[in-house]
């Protein structure tokens, strides 16, 4: 039996491969492209993705290479409607990072190579067949065909995924009657520190800073060809005026589709990223969502007791819901920003000013955009006592906070495993669990207890991907805790 096979060496495939190696699963990565893409493509990295990258020791390298933005300003013409800030978020990374996708791939690739991995380029996965022992895959190396057997095949090969096509999975959804032109340019005299979104009767215009002083310009249009002259005209019509676009390093056009597979898993074969879901670029959620697919799946592949476990089934159950929410939210954002009817635009502007100008609604929107609010509540592999009274429940992201020894909680996680947080729980029960299961144990102090809303003694088991797997308020029988731990794939010491 060979290594796990990852098809696609973009941000999602590289994240998947790095995570697999971190959890001790040897893997092989193939990509049909001869060279990495040089284009900037996706540029937004949200706080939740930075938190997960921090677990790999990469957040510092990413932030050093990118531009930190506090938030996004929304305008109607030249009139400011509202500001969506990030600085108030409870995270070590209270900002949005602007970083071209080619740099994201470079940083991930460098880390993957440091771990001993390698990319096999110019290799196409042409077909495969599953059996009880694994997946038999045909790989085309130019004029040579190879037959390989792998326990897991993960398709991270984009919207035109060959893995998805081989599975004959319907990519249900629709093509949206909305196209975008974008360019990476310089704009003399414009010192942009945050994102700006301009709405107008003619459509929308987005301006985001890039590393090195460049500007990403995006506009919706039905024009078939993207040119600098065309984007200049759209910028003049919709922007603040007086901006001159120059020195384009990349110009492109893309159409919007909203599609998703019904299941992210078929036996030993999995789909992640654009291979599983595509949507509007509004909100910059696409690459982040795909990378978080990888963070969700990798530890489950490493911890699953057998190939057809409930733990592996939970990948689709948890991430399909997230994908569906992203498709709906990004579609709504794009439709709202591109409204043409004057009455509809007036209502939208009034709502943005009246509601999203207030702190509560700004915070809700900030948490949604930052992806800190993603939750897997209701997942069948999680466990929670019905009387649990904490603010953070099973399935929620485990927030950061200070520990009694002066460290932050995120600095104390186990690198590749589960962590048991004790909020004043019975010491003997915590010690008994630690003797039976390979978990790190952290005693939370009163400040962290307040952060989590733990109003009474409680236990929280944090999964390797930073989400709460068990939320229990003692007394809970050890048999029930053992069942929950086993279902989550927590390794036993026996």
Length of the chain: 494
Strands 195-200 and 71-76 turn out to be parallel
| Other residues' Cβ atoms within 10 Å of the Cβ of residue 188 | 9
CA distance 113 to 403: 34
User: pLDDT at position 319, please?
Assistant: 98
When pLDDT is averaged across residues 27-42 and rounded to a whole number, the result is 96
When pLDDT is averaged across residues 8-17 and rounded to a whole number, the result is 98
Both tokens assigned to 47: 């706080």
Is residue 7 scored above 50 in pLDDT? yes
Is residue 182 scored above 80 in pLDDT? yes
DSSP, res 285: -
Percentage of the chain exceeding pLDDT 90: 78
pLDDT digits (tens, 9 = 90+) for 134-177: 999 999 999 999 999 999 999 999 999 999 999 999 999 999 88
Nearest to 213 by CA among 102, 108, 103, 98: 98
CA distance 218 to 337: 12
Per-residue pLDDT band at 360 (split at 50, 70, 90): low
User: pLDDT at position 1, please?
Assistant: 47
Mean pLDDT of the chain: 93
When pLDDT is averaged across residues 1-7 and rounded to a whole number, the result is 86
pLDDT digits (tens, 9 = 90+) for 268-319: 999 999 999 999 988 889 999 999 999 999 999 999 877 879 999 999 999 9
CA distance 134 to 124: 19
Query: Can you spell out the DSSP letters for 109-134?
Result: HHHHHHTT--EEESEEEEEEEEETTE
- Counts of helices then strands in the chain (DSSP H, E): 13, 25
Q: 478 to each of 264, 305, 358, 475, 492, how far by Cα in Å?
A: 33, 21, 46, 9, 14
pLDDT digits (tens, 9 = 90+) for 315-335: 999 999 999 999 999 888 888
When pLDDT is averaged across residues 104-114 and rounded to a whole number, the result is 98
pTM: 0.96
pLDDT digits (tens, 9 = 90+) for 424-450: 999 999 999 999 999 999 999 999 999
CB 446 within 8 A of CB 425: no
Is the model more confident about 45 or about 359?
Answer: 45
CB 440 within 8 A of CB 419: yes
Q: Which string of b and e fits 371-391 if b means at least 16 CB within 10 Å? A: bbebbbeebebbbbbeebebe
Among 105-114, 357-366, 478-487, which is the least confidently predicted range?
Answer: 357-366
Residue with tokens 């990374």: 93
Both tokens assigned to 409: 């909680």
What are the strands, taking DSSP E only, across 40-191? 44-45, 67-69, 71-76, 79-85, 96-98, 119-121, 123-131, 134-141, 144-150, 153-155, 172-186
For the beta sheet containing 67-69, the strands, ordered from the edge strand earlier in sequence to the opposite edge, are 44-45, 96-98, 67-69
């Amino acid at each position: 039996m060979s290594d796990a096979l990852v098809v696609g060496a973009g941000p999602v495939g590289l994240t998947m491969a790095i995570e697999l190696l971190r959890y001790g699963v040897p893997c092989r990565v193939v990509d049909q492209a001869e060279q990495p893409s040089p284009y900037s493509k996706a540029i937004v990295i949200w706080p939740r993705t930075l938190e997960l990258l921090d677990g790999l020791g990469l957040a510092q390298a990413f932030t050093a290479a990118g531009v930190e933005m506090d938030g996004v300003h929304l305008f109607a013409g030249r009139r400011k409607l509202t500001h969506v800030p990030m600085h108030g978020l409870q995270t070590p990374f209270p900002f949005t990072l602007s970083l071209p996708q080619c740099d994201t791939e470079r940083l991930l690739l460098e880390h993957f190579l440091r771990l001993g991995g390698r990319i096999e380029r110019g290799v196409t996965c042409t077909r495969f067949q599953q059996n009880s022992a694994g997946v038999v895959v045909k790989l085309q190396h130019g004029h040579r065909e190879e037959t390989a057997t792998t326990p897991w095949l993960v398709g991270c090969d984009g919207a035109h995924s060959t893995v998805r096509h081989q599975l004959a999975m319907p990519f249900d959804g629709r093509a949206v009657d909305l196209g975008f032109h974008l360019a990476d340019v310089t704009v003399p005299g414009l010192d942009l520190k945050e994102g700006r979104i301009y709405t107008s009767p003619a459509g929308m215009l987005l301006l985001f800073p890039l590393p090195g002083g460049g500007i990403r310009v995006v506009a919706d249009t039905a024009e078939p060809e993207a040119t600098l002259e065309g984007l200049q005209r759209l910028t003049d019509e919709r922007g603040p005026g007086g901006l001159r676009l120059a020195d384009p390093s990349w110009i492109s056009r893309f159409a919007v589709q909203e599609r998703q597979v019904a299941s992210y898993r078929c036996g030993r074969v999995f789909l992640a990223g654009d291979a599983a879901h595509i949507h509007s670029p509004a909100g910059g959620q696409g690459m982040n969502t795909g990378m978080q697919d990888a963070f969700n799946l990798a530890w489950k592949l490493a911890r699953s007791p057998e190939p057809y476990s409930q733990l592996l089934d939970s990948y689709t159950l948890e991430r399909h819901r997230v994908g569906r929410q992203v498709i709906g939210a990004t579609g709504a954002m794009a439709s709202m920003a591109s409204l043409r009817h004057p009455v509809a635009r007036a209502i939208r502007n009034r709502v943005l000013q009246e509601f999203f100008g207030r702190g509560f609604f700004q915070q809700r929107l900030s948490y949604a955009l930052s992806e800190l609010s993603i939750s897997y509540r209701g997942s069948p592999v999680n466990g929670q006592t019905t009387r649990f009274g904490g603010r953070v429940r099973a399935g929620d992201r485990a927030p950061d906070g200070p520990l009694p020894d002066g460290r932050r909680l995120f600095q104390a996680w186990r690198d590749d495993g589960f962590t048991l947080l004790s909020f004043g729980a019975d010491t003997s029960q915590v010690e008994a669990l630690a003797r039976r299961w390979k978990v790190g144990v952290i005693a939370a102090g009163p400040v962290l207890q307040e952060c989590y809303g733990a109003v009474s003694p409680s236990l929280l088991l944090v999964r390797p991907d930073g989400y709460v797997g068990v939320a229990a308020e003692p007394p809970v029988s050890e048999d029930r805790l053992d069942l929950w731990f086993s279902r989550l794939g927590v390794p036993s010491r026996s």
